[in-house]
């Protein structure tokens, strides 16, 4: 359909909670196509409705790489129903050009959602995979949460934002994740 403009960090609507989709209408199906077209155009792994100014609970992901065929996944009204484990994920975001930082993520997630035909499905992503990261990253967008809110180092993210002429970190939005951090620290000490 259309490659849309991706909203950059600092746009207030990126911090808003998205609306539930009550019907997978033509408007929602068009939104899914626009999300996919925009994500592929920008060589992204995932894109959520709010990033193109559509605050609906919809996101798309494609973790195929290299010569693999495209494998678009559509999530409408997703809910994370199970999560466990912890790892350090180095992430970026299309709304934050050239910004990459280490964040805390769950190692395993189970998500329930609808596809673009309104059919319910459950998907499990296990281990420190790109799919595991992408589901959590895009899901957060639907609640106005950004990947920098999970940053392990406040100073690392502040420096990355400043270097890329993006607004400063919103300290009040940072998420205290002591349990995840404890689990990450335990796994790091086991590895030594």
CATH number of residue 158's parent domain:
3.90.45.10
**Cα gap 76→58, rounded to integer Å:** 5
Please provide the DSSP assignment of 39-50 as one string: HHHTT-SEEEGG
| SS3 (DSSP) at 5 | coil
Q: Is residue 4 part of a domain?
A: no
Question: Is residue 116, in this structure, part of any structural domain at all?
Answer: yes
Residues 31, 58: contact at Cβ < 8 Å?
Answer: yes
Q: Is residue 28 part of a domain?
A: yes
Tokens found for residue 94: 């299309």
- pLDDT, residue 1, reads 64
Report pTM.
Answer: 0.94
Given the residues 138, 170, 183, 190, the one annotated as active site: 138
* pLDDT of res. 190: 76
List the pLDDT tens digit at each of the 192 positions of the chain: 699 999 999 999 999 999 999 999 999 999 999 999 999 999 999 999 999 999 999 999 999 988 899 999 999 999 999 999 999 999 999 999 999 999 999 999 999 999 999 999 999 999 989 999 999 999 999 999 999 999 999 999 999 999 999 999 999 999 999 888 899 888 888 765
Residue 39 region by backbone torsions, left for phi larger than 0, else alpha for psi between -120 and 50, else beta: alpha
- Does residue 3 fall inside a structural domain? no
Catalytic residue at 190? Answer: no
Is 138 a member of any domain? yes
Residue 1 domain-assigned (yes or no): no
- Residue 46 within a domain: yes
Range of the domain at 25: 12-190
Specify the residue for token string 């809910």: 79
Distances (CA, A) of 50 to 72, 174, 180: 18, 19, 26
Number of domains in the chain: 1
In whole angstroms, give the CA distance from residue 135 to residue 61: 8
Any domain includes 84: yes
């Amino acid at each position: 359909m259309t490659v849309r403009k991706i909203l950059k960090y600092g746009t207030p609507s990126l911090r808003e909670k998205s609306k539930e989709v009550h019907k997978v209408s033509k408007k929602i199906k068009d939104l899914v196509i626009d999300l996919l077209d925009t994500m592929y155009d920008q060589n992204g792994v995932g894109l959520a409705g709010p990033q193109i100014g559509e605050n609906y609970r919809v996101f798309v992901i494609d973790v195929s790489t290299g010569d693999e065929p495209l494998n678009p996944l559509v999530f409408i009204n997703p809910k994370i129903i199970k999560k466990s484990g912890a790892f350090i994920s180095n992430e970026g975001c299309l709304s934050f050009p050239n910004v990459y930082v280490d964040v805390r993520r769950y190692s395993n997630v189970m998500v329930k959602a609808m596809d673009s035909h309104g059919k319910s499905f459950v998907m499990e992503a296990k281990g420190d995979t790109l799919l595991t990261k992408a589901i959590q990253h895009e899901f957060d967008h639907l609640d106005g949460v950004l990947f920098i809110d999970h940053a392990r180092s406040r100073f690392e993210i502040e420096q990355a934002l400043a270097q890329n002429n993006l607004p400063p970190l919103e300290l009040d939005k940072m998420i205290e994740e002591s349990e995840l951090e404890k689990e990450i620290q335990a796994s790091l000490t086991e590895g030594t």
